[in-house]
Amino acid sequence: MSSLDLALDEAPLSRFHTKSVVTAGMGFFTDAYDLFIIGVATTLITPLWHLSSSQTGLVNSITLISAFVGAFIFGRLSDVIGRKKIYGLEAVLMIVGALASAFAPNFAFLLVCRFILGIGVGGDYPMSATLMTEFANRKNRGKLVGLVFAMQGLGTVAGYIIGLALLSAHVSNDLTWRILLGMGALPAASVLMMRRRMPESPRYSDQVLGKSAKATTDIASFSEGVVLASADQGPQRAPKGYMKLREFLSNPKYLLLLLGTAGTWFVFDYAYYGNSVSAPLIIKSVLGKQGSSVLTEALALQLIIFTLAALPGYYLATHFMDRIGHRRLQWIGFIGMGTAFLLIGVIPNVTTMLAPFLILFCISYFFAEFGPNTTTFVLSAEVYPTRARSTGHGISAGIAKIGAFIGVYLFPIIKTDLGINGALRLSFGMAVIGLLLTLLIPEPSQKSLEEISSSDVVQAAEQVIHTSTVATNN
């Protein structure tokens, strides 16, 4: 381990870390706003444009499928040409996509705009996760990277509040959905300059490019000397270069890790996005009412649920993650979330009783945030080496968004065929799969990034497979 790596790992929490969290986290504020407000917007657009259920599902989910493209492309480019060179470009795509969506004249145009937006949203995942992970210290890495992701909760709440304000003010439905979609450009624009001022990842400069002196200068300037206060600059490191994609995908260890990080994230996003984007539809169904005021009432209830259950989950996860363990917290979250889904699915008539349903729905939201929604993001940025960290995270995030796309697109259809109970029983099955796939991921809490990505640590996942195979054969 180089002197620079050690200095980053042992640096005390400081203003440097706060700046990094805010700069990276505002992107996730924007991501969440753009992804979750579409459920409200399409509730208004559907009767105006006479959309079918499949068209509504496609508008809701197209951003998620393009997020797969963005996560893979930006994740790979970040390893090949550097983090800083492209950090901020994804925000440009989000600005363009959000503004163009607000002026969409028809269904096809809106799909194209949302697709462009999704590329930017997807690209933000590996970029922000990788940079924050590589800036973070060892003891608080889960907390710092988790705080970046927790901005998702604030973005979601902001969307609900803006939607509720417009509906309560009796703004026309056509103008309301356009304002809701166009507002997504504002937070993206606000962070564009902040991101361009961030330095290149010192670990990338040092380990991949072999520019130890530049890495030391950059991080000393950005952190106001805090990071390097207790360490001297080490010798110039020979550049290793980025890991070739073929080398990464042909390595059984990394493929096994991908099965763990991408697999758990896929099944979680299927359940989470399907329920969250369709939450106004779910709550309207439980309320059993019709009329123009029901969407306002459903949105108000959703805001209450998210504020009381989801937001505490995000921030309690960041507070306790490094103490509990990142992988262990993911297990806890899958168990709690899955149990809530199962109870909604099997208790007779629970979806016709508002109070019991809302309690169980709140529990599912809390454990989603106090668990896999936060930990899948954090773990995918920790377990891969610096030479391929962004690639591994980008592939994991991209595959997850395919799961989200399937969940959002199919949820209205499954709800029609099986009811809310049947849809949530399927979500319970996804939680069980996620619980099992988490076994493939080593525990990274309190370890240095170099220690996590060493062969000994990665082989822990292989040992799980070997042990399971032996037990089955016996």
Report the b/e string of 175-189 with b at 16+ CB within 10 A.
Answer: ebbbebbebbbebbb
For the stretch 331-356, pLDDT in tens is: 999 999 999 989 988 888 877 777 88
Q: How far is CA 336 from CA 341, 403, 438, in A?
A: 9, 20, 15
Confidence (pLDDT) at 235? 56
pLDDT of 267 strictly over 80: yes
pLDDT band with cut points at 50, 70 and 90 for residue 453:
confident
- Contact of 143 with 318, CB cutoff 8 Å: yes
- Could you read off the pLDDT of 46-58 as tens digits, one per residue? 999 999 878 888 8
Q: Which residue in 279, 316, 273, 327 sits closest to 299, CA to CA?
A: 279
DSSP symbol at 205: I
Contact 365, 341 (CB under 8 A): no
Average pLDDT over residues 302-313: 88
The mean-pLDDT minimum among 87-91, 155-159, 298-302, 403-407 falls in 298-302
249: left (phi over 0), alpha (psi -120 to 50) or beta: alpha
**What is the average per-residue pLDDT within 313-317?**
96
For the chain, the domains span: 3-467
CA 82, CA 218: separation in Å to the nearest integer? 14
Which of these, 278, 244, 264, 277, lies nearest to 397 by C-alpha position?
Answer: 264
- Would the pLDDT of 244 be above 90? yes
Residues in the chain: 474
pLDDT (0 to 100) of residue 75: 96
Model confidence at 409, pLDDT cuts 50, 70, 90, reads confident
Instruction: Copy the structure tokens of residue 384.
Output: 């891969």
Percent of the chain with pLDDT over 70: 87
The Cα–Cα gap between 213 and 206 comes to 8
Contact criterion met (CB below 8 Å) for 27 and 128: yes
> Given pLDDT bands bounded at 50, 70 and 90, which one contains residue 255?
very high
**What's the mean pLDDT in 307-324?**
94
Residue 133 has pLDDT above 70, yes or no: yes
Predicted local distance difference test score (pLDDT) of residue 112:
96
C-alpha to C-alpha distance for 356 and 155, rounded to whole angstroms: 27
CA dist 329 and 327 (Å) reads 5
Query: Which pLDDT score, from 0 to 100, does residue 121 have?
Result: 93
Highest mean pLDDT among 84-93, 385-394, 455-464: 385-394
The pTM of this model reads 0.87
pLDDT tops 50 at residue 457: no
pLDDT of residue 87: 86
Residue recorded with tokens 């049947």:
422
Q: Alpha-carbon dihedral of residues 181, 186, 191, 192, nearest 10 degrees?
A: 90
CA dihedral in degrees (24, 30, 36, 38; nearest 10)?
A: -150
* Higher-pLDDT residue of 228, 154: 154
Q: Tell me the CATH number for domain 3-467.
A: 1.20.1250.20
Give me the pLDDT at residue 299, please: 77
Report the pLDDT value the prediction gives residue 6, as an integer from 0 to 100.
81
- Summarize the confidence of residues 215-230 as an average pLDDT: 70
- pLDDT (0 to 100) of residue 458: 47
